[in-house]
Structure 1
Amino acid sequence: MKGVVVYCDGRIKVEELPKPKINDYQALVENLSCGICNGTDLKIIHGRFKGFNTYPAVLGHETVGRVVEVGRKVISFKVGDLVLRSILEKVEDPRYYSGWGGFAEYGVVGDWRAMEKDGRTEYPEIYYAQQVIPGNLDPHQATMLITLKEVASGLNRFGVGKNDAVLIHGAGPVGLSMVRLAKLRGAGPIVVSEPDAGRRERAERLGADVVLNPTEVDVVAEARKIVPQGFDYVIDAVGINALITQSLKIVKFNGKVGVYGIAPETRAEIDWTEAPYNFVIHFVQWPTFRDEAAVHRQILALVEAGAIDLGEFVTHVIPRLEDFQKGLDLITSKQAIKVAVNIKG
């Protein structure tokens, strides 16, 4: 089978890989589409993802695929199911490592319920998030469900709720997901700081009450005009450490600065001279798979009801794995929001 492999020097190749094998508690998935993660995938490619150093690696973790074979003890999946998050737990060729392995023609999902039923309690946590989705969803658009579920679980951890004043730095896939989900929770006002005009317009469509261009206005001064007492939540959705200090200037007394985006640098100098005396800085950079699984039905219900339009996020579909670089170029140039790659092209 074909798969996208990234090397430690940033080279990307489509290479022939062995098809994964399954055990009694797993299902084999023919991957249909995989989203390019603007955060994790790009940082792995550039060698700047904290804690990841196993190269060459098969990339990708935002997969949608169809089950084509099930192990004899599987009870949660059946042939024909459309599923999220199939991965390569390991690559059968020892020359390669798994960077989750979603950009490959086949992957594996595991049935934790069947394992628990048989008294087997040790398995990868990602099994919780490998879930069935409605078969009528477009596989390319459905890749966005993973980001939405991650963000929903992140907002739960932050505590964002009704009537909370929220400022979000960045309007990429994560920031825009935060805007939409915060709006649906009744938060407001919702303010977005984003330099790209197209993304600011999209943020307004998705529910932002005010959008600011940080290259043209003083975000702190403008934010203080909008919410003089300070925001309940100020969230970095892009991963720029300097935003922590800026956020402390506009968070309210006992408010929270949420750090969701993963910065390439793991150290920062924080100045709280202009911050209130009481505040919280809360890092949520790795939503757990259990938390992600817990919001599965909620996100699907919002999509089914039309409250979330997946097409607002997935703006481009790359026709085949061999054109993967074109997808990266669309992201780095900010021409795209979310890019999905057609695995079967």
Structure 2
Amino acid sequence: MTRLRALVALAALIVAGGLVAVIPATAASAAACSASWQASAVYWGDAQVSHNGRNYRAKWWTQNEAPPGTTGVWEDLGACGGGTTPPTGGTCTYPNWAAGTWYAAGAIVRYTNGSYYIAEHDNPGYDPVVSTWYWEPYTCGGQPPTSPPPTNPGGFVVTEAQFNQMFPGRNSFYTYSGLVAALSAYPAFARTGSATVQRQEAAAFLANVYHETGGLVHVVEQNTANYPHYCDYGQPYGCPAGQAAYYGRGPIQLSWNFNYNAAGNALNLPLLTNPWLVQTDASVAWKTGIWYWMTQNGPGTMTAHNAMVNGAGFGQTIRSINGSIECNGGNPAQVQSRVTRYQQFVGILGVSAGANLYC
């Protein structure tokens, strides 16, 4: 009963105003909201932002990944501003976003998470959270963000955050920096045509890469029984690295001694005598994938690059990689797997998939 009397007395003092100053503030009321997260902004480690009524801290460099994200870059610091979305500086009466509705540049909508977005470019109702090239977060009652669009390393149309979103479980060997470093080998890759075409080509390449490597998980071919088959002794240079040395490696799973020889000559690398470079150097691995994409018809009638920039469509990139093994009804499930991944990736990059998806 002594404890109960003490609590009653404490309550009386609080009512009288005597102990108001010593009552600790709750975590929610004590935390002020940091500056709102902006998609186009670059955030370095320890940067703090607020998003949907919560504060977050960046653990490392990030851009375009809205908190809480999927890569683990954002540390949740808890609710801010009393646990509600901070004031936005005005009252908004903009319409709710609707998928499939045409929006002209400058249109402002309210998304399903309660946040507002402004269309940076005309679009047929792309999702504001996914298609960050078309939509920018908008401060209700204020001015639209004025930050310039992101400039990615090497001028690549895929940001590191988007790359991480595409390949959340990838092998650490396949680095984004290695991919960006490889771009110099073929400057026309994902830089030819309109902004839409450039993004479609990047998505097509990465979708096929995903399929070939199980999501950038496999660096080398998994079926070791195939290894001795990739030596064509009919070539004048033979197989100087050994009969079983030319198995599939890298993002396109480069195989056969004649492909290692051709890629090595094109890239000025000793791949015929040292094919292991493709599994030990990330930049070399990416270069071989881009080399095949840009220069080889494979079993098709055109390079995968030409298929995308000249309007032949994603289906022809499949034909250039695997031909009748998958196309013409050879393996429709494998074709569908590639198409589904391509559709996902163009969605991340904020463009349409285009026509002629199948082969």
Q: Same fold (TM over 0.5)?
A: no
Q: Which structure has the larger Rg over C-alpha atoms? A: 2
Structure with more relative contact order (C-alpha pairs < 8 Å, separation 6 or more)? 1
TM-score by length of 1: 0.26
More helix by share: 2
Task: Output the TM-score relative to the length of structure 2.
Answer: 0.25
> Per residue, is there more strand in 1 or in 2?
1
